[in-house]
Amino acid sequence: MTATSADPVVSGVTERLTPAELLAEQRRTLATPRRRANVAARALFAMMDLVYGSERSLAKFRVLEVIARVPYQAWEHVAYVAVTHRHSEPRFARRIFERVAESRAQQDNEQWHLLILEELLAEEGRRQPFVRYRLLPQVIAFAYYQLSWLLYVVKPGWSYRLNADFEDHAEHEYMLFVSENPQLEERPYEGLFAEEYGRYDTLADLFRQIGYDERVHKLESLDAMVRPRFE
């Protein structure tokens, strides 16, 4: 299924892969060493392990997705402000706006991940402590937004680098989660967001697709790292 950005409801959907392609992409991730994360990313992962446990779980992934959206929000905001200052140069402003559009699509993609996790967790029906699973993720996301914003204003490459580390981590975690949970191969996904995000024969494929999305985000950030600001 290929969604297009023409329909605003399906904004932020990346290329949909077939089950065979998803399996190949999972193998590719697992055969690729993790990036050497920088100190800020390592501190974040260590803190998440401490608070949410080192085991991969839906509840922990939901926290990850709350945080995952905010660098894109920070970049989008900076780019819109840049358009305010530079609209007298329409060609340049247009290039800035292309960055806005890219950030928005990435942010929407993360939002589908977040909403799908929320839906799957609700189905499990297990209560989660409010402070640890609702309040704290928002506090972390707020701090991470400020950090992403500041790095982006000072030197965009630093912010992209941090995000690439984060996305690399997410990609590996999702693909490992599928390997560790063979029962995911039995359950189809036809949930609330199937219309927008896609229907999958199995939850395993759904998570492989999410892991693949994280790889796409990582590669986009690595590509942006070597492009100067708004060029």
Query: Can you give the binding site for Fe ion, defined by CB under 5 A?
Result: 68, 110, 113, 167, 214, 217
Taking the complex as a whole, the smallest distance from the CB of residue 87 to Fe ion amounts, in Å, to 30
Residue 213: CB minimum distance to Fe ion, A: 6
At closest approach, how far in Å is the CB of 137 from Fe ion? 13
Taking the alpha carbons at both ends of the chain, their separation in whole angstroms is 32
Closer residue to Fe ion (CB): 114 or 151: 114
Taking each helix axis as running N to C, give the angle between helix 90-124 and helix 203-225, from 0 to 180 degrees, rounded to the nearest 10: 150
Rounded-to-integer distance, Cα 231 and Cα 3, Å: 28
Minimal distance, residue 72 CB to Fe ion, in Å: 9
**Residue closer to Fe ion (CB basis): 76 or 214:** 214
Contact between 184 and 204 (Cβ < 8 Å): yes
* Closest CB 152 distance from Fe ion, rounded Å: 17
CB of 68 or CB of 164, closer to Fe ion: 68
Angle, to 10 degrees, between the axis of helix 70-86 and the axis of helix 156-180? 150
Alpha helices in 18-135 (DSSP H): 19-31, 39-52, 58-68, 70-86, 90-124, 130
Q: How far is the CB of 21 from Fe ion (least distance, A)?
A: 19
CB atoms within 10 A of CB 23: 15
* Cα 2 from Cα 163, distance rounded (Å): 26
In the complex with Fe ion, which residue's Cβ is closer, 82 or 163?
163
Question: Which residue, 68 or 151, is less far from Fe ion as judged by CB?
Answer: 68
Q: In this complex, which beta carbon is closest to Fe ion, that of residue 149 or of residue 167?
A: 167
3-class secondary structure, 33:
coil
Using only the alpha carbons of the chain, give its radius of gyration.
18
